[in-house]
Structure 1
Amino acid sequence: MDQQERQLREGVVSAARELDALGLNRGTSGNVSCRFGDGLLITPSGVPTAELTPESIVPMGLDGSYPEGTKPSSEWRFHRDILAARPEVGAVVHAHPVHCTAFAICGRPIPAVHYMIAAFGGPDVRCAPYAPYGTEALSRLALDALEDRSCCLLANHGMIAAGADLRRALWLAQELETLCQQYAVALQVGTPQILSDAEIAETVERFRGYGLNAGNPAKSAT
C-alpha cells in the first residue's frame, strides 16, 4: 500500500467516524466511499466505525470485483454506480440521520424552503422511490434522483450525498440534515414559504466561487 492509498483509506475511516460524531449516523448503518484509481475504496460490511482501520477498507473495481476475504458495504452498488456515472464525483456518503430519514419514511422530497437548498444543485432534494437495500433497483432509482443534484433521499431508508471529495460529501450530508430539521420545525410552526425556481437559480449562480460551494453545484456536485 503506497502513501496515497493509505491517506485515502485513512480519509474514509475518518469520514465514517465523523458521521457518528456529527450525529448523522449510528452503529454500522452508514457507509462511505471515495474514488481510487480506476475503482473505489469503501467501508466494509457490518463493522462499527470505532473498529474501522485503514486496512479494513475494501478496494473495489468498477466491475464490482473486490479481493477475496474482504466484504464491502452491502450498499456498494450505488456507491460504484454513482462514481461510474458521475466522473466529477470523488466521494459518496450514505447515512440515516434522523430528520432526513423521517422525510424519507414519508416519501417526501425537500422543497426550496431555504436558499441553502441551492448547495444541492437545484430547487429541491428528490426522494427516490423505495427499493430493498443493496439492490440494482435501488441504485437505478438513486441515480435518477441524483440527476443534476448532489444529494437525495431514499424512501424508507436514508440519504446520499455525493461530492468532489470526502470533505465536500460530509459537508453536504450535514447541510442536508440541517435543512431537513429546519423544514420539520417549520411544518410544526405553520406553512413554509417556498422559494421560486428563479430565486434558487439565482442563488446557485451566487454560490459559484463561494467557499465549499465553489464550482457549479448543479452539475459538478463540488
Structure 2
Amino acid sequence: MDEAALRREIVEQARRMNALGINQGTSGNISARCGAEMLITPSATPYETMRPEDIAAMPLQGRRGTWRGKLRPSTEWRFHLDILRGRPEAGAVVHTHAMYCTTLAILRREIPAVHYMIAAFGGATVRCAPYALYGTAELAAHALRALEDRNACLLANHGMIVVGPTLAKAMWLAVELETLAKQYYLAMQAGEPVVLSEAEIAATARGFATYGLQAPTADE
C-alpha cells in the first residue's frame, strides 16, 4: 500500500473505531508502518473532520520526536514508535479507550483465558501494564513489557493497545479484545469465571495457525 492509500485507510479506520463503539471522541489513536516512517493520527483532531493530509509522519529511526505534516502527531506517539521500532513484524498499532477494556484496566485486571479467542493475542492472558501518565516514555516502557510475546495489552486506568501485521488486522483484533473484555466483565457479575488451561489455549493456537488467526511473531 502506498503512502496516500495508507493515509486514507488510517482516516477510515479512525472513524470506524468510533462507529463500532470501541472508542469515544479523539481519545484513541492509530499508527501504521510506511517504509522508513510511521504514519500516525494527529493530536486532538476530530475524526469526522480529519483528512489524509492531516496524518503526521515520523521517522522510525534517527532523532525521536521529529515529524512532518500539517498537524502535530498524537501525544501517544512514543509507545506507537517504540512498538513499531521493536516489533519488525508489526504493521500497525491501534489504541482505544474501549469501555470494557478500560473498565478492567481501572480494576488493574489482566484478561485470563475465559474464552478460547484469547489465543489470537499470543498467549493465555492479556496483561495489564502499570499506570503512567499518558504520552510519557514511562508509559511506553510499561506497554512494551506488557506486550512481550503478545499482540495486545491493557493500560492501567487508561485503555488498550493492539498490534497487527496490517491496520485491518489490528482493527479486527481491537474489536475481539473489547469483546473478550466484555465477556469477562459480565461473567464476573454472574459468578466465578472458569478459566481455560494453558494446554487448551495452546491447542487453540495450533488450530488458529491453519487459517491465519495466529498472533504475529518476530519470525513471521
TM range (shorter): over 0.9
Moved over 3 A (4+): none
- Residue in structure 1 matched with residue 207 of structure 2 by the alignment: 206
> Unaligned regions of 5+ residues in structure 2, if any?
none
Structure 1 unpaired stretches of 5+: none
Q: How does 1:153-192 map to 2 (within 5 A)?
A: 153-192=154-193
Aligned CA distance change for structure 1 residues 104 and 48 (closer, same or farther; 3 Å): same
Q: How does 1:56-67 map to 2 (within 5 A)?
A: 56-62=54-60, 63-67=64-68
Question: How do 1:1-222 residues align onto structure 2 when only pairs under 5 Å count?
Answer: 4-62=2-60, 63-67=64-68, 70-211=71-212, 213=213, 216-217=214-215, 219=217
What whole-Å deviation, never above 9, does each CA across 1:11-48 have from its counterpart, x for those lacking one? 11011011101101111100001001112100000001
Amino acid of the structure 2 residue aligned with 1:33: S
Q: Is the 8 A contact 1:148 1:218 kept in 2?
A: no
The structure-2 alpha-carbon separation of the partners of 1:106 and 1:201, relative to structure 1 and needing over 3 Å to count, comes to same
Q: Which amino acid aligns with 1:72?
A: P
Provide the rounded CA distance (Å) in 2 between the counterparts of 1:220 and 1:164. 11
Q: Percent identity?
A: 56
Contact 1:163 1:221 in 2 (8 A): no
Give the counterpart letter for 1:21 in structure 2: A
Moved more, 55-64 or 45-54: 55-64
Post-superposition offset of 1:219: 2.3
CA displacement, residues 67-105 of structure 1 (integer Å, 9 cap, x when unaligned)? 275300000000000000000000000000100000000
Q: Secondary structure of 2:31's match?
A: strand
Q: What TM-score results when the alignment is normalised by the length of structure 1?
A: 0.94
d(CA) in 2 for partners of 1:221 and 1:171?
Answer: 22
Q: Secondary structure at the match of 1:169?
A: helix
Write the distance in 2 (CA, Å) between the matches of 1:218 and 1:83: 13
Q: 1:221 to 1:21 in 2, by over 3 A?
A: farther
Give the C-alpha shift of residue 128 in structure 1: 0.0
- The one-letter code sitting in structure 1 at the alignment partner of 2:81 is R
User: 1:183 is aligned with what amino acid?
Assistant: Y
Q: Distance in 2 between matches of 1:28 and 1:142?
A: 20
**Please, what TM-score do these two structures have when normalized by structure 2?**
0.95
* Number of positions where the alignment pairs a residue of Structure 1 with one of Structure 2: 217
RMSD: 1.5
CA contact (8 A) 1:150 1:221 kept: no
On the 8 A contact 2:89/2:216 being kept in 1, the answer is no
Deviation at residue 64 of structure 1 after TM alignment: 2.8
Change (3 A) 1:137 1:79: same
Q: Helix, strand or coil for the counterpart of 1:50?
A: coil
Any conservation in 2 of the 1:122–1:148 contact (CA below 8 Å)? yes
